[in-house]
Amino acid sequence: MSFHSGFVAIIGRPNVGKSTLMNQVIGQKIAIMSDKPQTTRNKIHGVYTTNKSQIVFLDTPGIHKRQSKLGDYMNQTAISTLGEVEAVLFLIDASEGLGGGDRFIAEQLKNVKTPVILVMNKIDKLEPDALLPMITEYSKLHDFAEIVPISAKVGSNVNTLLEQLEKYLPEGPQYYPEDQVTDHPEQFVIAELIREKILHLTREEVPHSIAVAIEDMRAESNGVVHISAVIFVERDSQKGIIIGKQGAMLKEVGRRARTDIENLLGSKTFLELWVKVKKDWRNQERVLRDLGFHKDQ
């Protein structure tokens, strides 16, 4: 029996459930989730393997109206992905209906020769009779190869989507071992898990102003993994919010992150968190490079 493999991009405006779909397919958390838009900043490579195929998913940043150089980077990352893959999943939030953001992305797809599959997410929030008119409306935007309604959160129809995707994979090698679910190093995933907890716990003025860098990670002789991470913010006031009264917020971030990190690593973890101010880091190209945001990713 021949083996098929290939790369598939997941695109869509912010907060439509791209990371939720990635994690549902892979079966564990490799991309962070938040109800705040623009959560994903880098292409997250997730690997789904069966006995007959392997799909490498690229979960791109949400395409949005830019407000900083970081925003520019995120848009370029998402759009550049479209020429690198065997298929594109255009994910939309069916519970919100067709909006300007979806139309903007559809415009970017006009010159894409790659098969585009429209994935209508969050159908669990729809009345059953609302789905068919919505399919008709969206089908006017682009000549989609397939239209697949799903709920990434509960897993409804996700297996059907995977079956449809296999049709577009060419014969090819198994790029990654069958038990590997991402090609990102552990330090990248750990930094993202820490950032996720901050997104969940902080107020609106903080989320897009934070970045997390792992400064040290080593296994002690007793098997405990020691991790030292720095949380970068843009203003002193944001530093105060993340640390919290008597350090309470930072302790809670660490407690929640440590649980996910221990699940990821399968070992006890000592997590040390520091907060530093890098003023206006999102608009400083040198700082963006230092934090791992590269235009050629």
The rounded average pLDDT for each run of 10 residues, N- to C-terminus, in the chain (297 residues) is 89 83 77 45 72 85 50 57 83 90 85 90 91 93 95 93 94 84 73 84 68 84 88 87 91 92 84 88 64 50
- Tell me whether residue 130 is exposed, middle or buried, using C-beta atoms within 10 angstroms of its C-beta: 0 to 12, 13 to 18, 19 or more: middle
Angle at 235 between CA 233 and CA 239, to 5 degrees: 60
Q: Do residue 117 and residue 214 come from a single domain?
A: no
Instruction: Tell me if 170 is assigned to a ligand binding site.
Output: no
Are 126 and 210 part of one and the same domain?
Answer: no
Q: Do residues 122 and 27 share a domain? A: yes
Residue 79 CB contacts under 8 Å (≥ 6 apart), including other chains: 63, 108
* Residue 12 known to bind ligand: yes
62 annotated ligand binder: yes
15 assigned to a ligand binding site: yes
The response to whether 51 counts as a known ligand-binding position is: no
User: Do both 40 and 152 map to the same domain?
Assistant: yes
Residues 287 and 191 grouped into a single domain: yes
Instruction: Indicate whether 172 belongs to any domain.
Output: no
Instruction: Say which CATH number the domain at 76 has.
Output: 3.40.50.300
Is 13 annotated among the ligand-binding residues? yes
Q: Which domain holds residue 152?
A: 4-167
123 annotated to bind ligand? yes
Q: Are residues 220 and 163 part of one domain?
A: no
Say how far apart CA 253 and CA 274 lie, in whole Å: 11
Residues 209, 141 share a domain: no
Residues 163 and 191 in one domain: no
Q: Is 60 annotated as a binding residue?
A: yes
| pTM given for the model | 0.60
User: Does the annotation flag 61 for ligand binding?
Assistant: yes
Does residue 175 lie in a domain region?
A: no
Residue 178 lies in a domain: no
Residues 157 and 16 in one domain: yes
122 is in an annotated binding site: yes
Residue 37, in any domain of the structure: yes
Task: Establish whether 23 is an annotated binding residue.
Answer: no
Report whether 17 belongs to an annotated binding site.
Answer: yes
Identify whether residues 122 and 258 lie together within a single domain: no
Domain assignment present for 297: no
50 belongs to an annotated ligand binding site: no
Write b or e for each residue in 218-237: b if 16 or more Cβ atoms lie within 10 A of its Cβ, otherwise e: eeeeeeebebebbbbbbeee
The answer to whether the annotation marks 10 as part of a ligand binding site is: no
Residues 8 and 97 in one domain: yes
Q: Looking at residue 44, what is its pLDDT?
A: 58
In a domain, 181, yes or no: no
Whichever domain contains 251, its CATH number is 3.30.300.20
Q: Are residues 234 and 264 part of one domain?
A: yes
From edge to edge, which strands make up the β-sheet containing 225-233?
211-219, 225-233, 269-277
| pLDDT score recorded for residue 171 | 93
